[in-house]
Amino acid sequence: MSADGLVLVTGGSRGIGAATATLLADRGERVVIVDIAPEPLAGTATILWPAPFDVASEGGVMAGIADIEAAHGPITALVNAAGVFGKMHSLERVRMEQWDREVNIDLRGTFLVARSAGIRMAKRRHGAIVNVASVAGMTSGPIHAYTAAKAGVIQLTQTLAAEWGRSGVRVNAVSPGFTRTAALEAGIASGALEKERLARPAAMNRLVEPMEVAQAIAFLLSPQASGITGINLPVDAGFLAGSSWEAYGGLPQPPAS
């Protein structure tokens, strides 16, 4: 991040994108948010790009990035937070139009925006990108397109880090666990998900807050992470650490006080 540049946050009107944009703006960064359904973040100093931004449209992304830089200056940091959550189906019920939608937004969209902004950063020899992946891309589950797409984001992150490392551009990923976004809360409210079942495998026995993911993203963008590129940082309340303990009788309970 740089005082004379700006941070672009895709999917910035809601969820992890909104939390990240708010945090960075509160820290004094110039933040532009884009979204397929753009809505301002009330009470923040973020800049809303008013046109719908479709991360899966190659032409739209290229034109949008060019227009944003023409209007607001060079993009020195990018947060790829735009995404859609997977539909839970058995394999035989997966519809290919749903598969294509999730892969197009979650993987293709991440690539298109990273490429368009990252090429510009590489030419200027400065920049940082954080892609939002998921622990779903590191495990298995009945969200077939989503797990495949997020695994692709993790691999893409490493490839881009190697591609642009000598051009001064760092590329990292964060992999949130089950995070209390509006989308997850809607799934819980509908009965498709159970809060207790989501939290139980996590070592910390809880869900992740969007601001906790935002803080990890802010760190990876910051000068404090200047020597870090190509990593995938889980922010999962210990989901990966604790999920296999059920086979051994479950996670231990805290000692009596």
DSSP code per residue over 138-198: GS--S-HHHHHHHHHHHHHHHHHHHHHGGGTEEEEEEEE-SB--HHHHHHHHHTSS-HHHH
- For residues 222 and 214, give the distance between their C-alpha atoms in angstroms, rounded to a whole number: 12
- For residues 73 and 47, give the distance between their C-alpha atoms in angstroms, rounded to a whole number: 13
Give the pTM: 0.95
pLDDT at 84 over 80: yes
Catalytic residue among 146, 164, 178, 239: 146
Q: Which segments of the chain does DSSP mark as H helices, in order?
A: 15-26, 58-72, 96-103, 109-124, 144-164, 182-190, 195-199, 210-221, 239-242
pLDDT at 40 over 80: yes
Residue 5: pLDDT band (50, 70, 90) is confident
* Domain definitions of the chain by residue range: 6-179+209-240
Residue 211: pLDDT band (50, 70, 90) is very high
Query: What's the Cα-to-Cα distance from 221 to each of 61, 70, 76, 130, 155, rounded to whole Å?
Result: 22, 23, 10, 7, 19
Contact by Cβ (8 Å): 3, 27? no
The CATH class that applies to domain 6-179+209-240 reads: alpha beta
Higher pLDDT, 184 or 39: 39
178: left (phi over 0), alpha (psi -120 to 50) or beta: beta
Mean pLDDT of 121-135: 98
Q: Is the dihedral of CA 152, 16, 198, 203 positive or negative?
A: positive
Does the active-site annotation cover 248? no
pLDDT at 118 over 80: yes
Q: Please tell me what DSSP assigns to residue 207.
A: P
Mean pLDDT of 56-65: 98
pLDDT at 1: 61
At a CB cut-off of 8 Å and minimum separation 6, what does 220 contact? Answer: 128, 130, 170, 172, 174, 228, 233
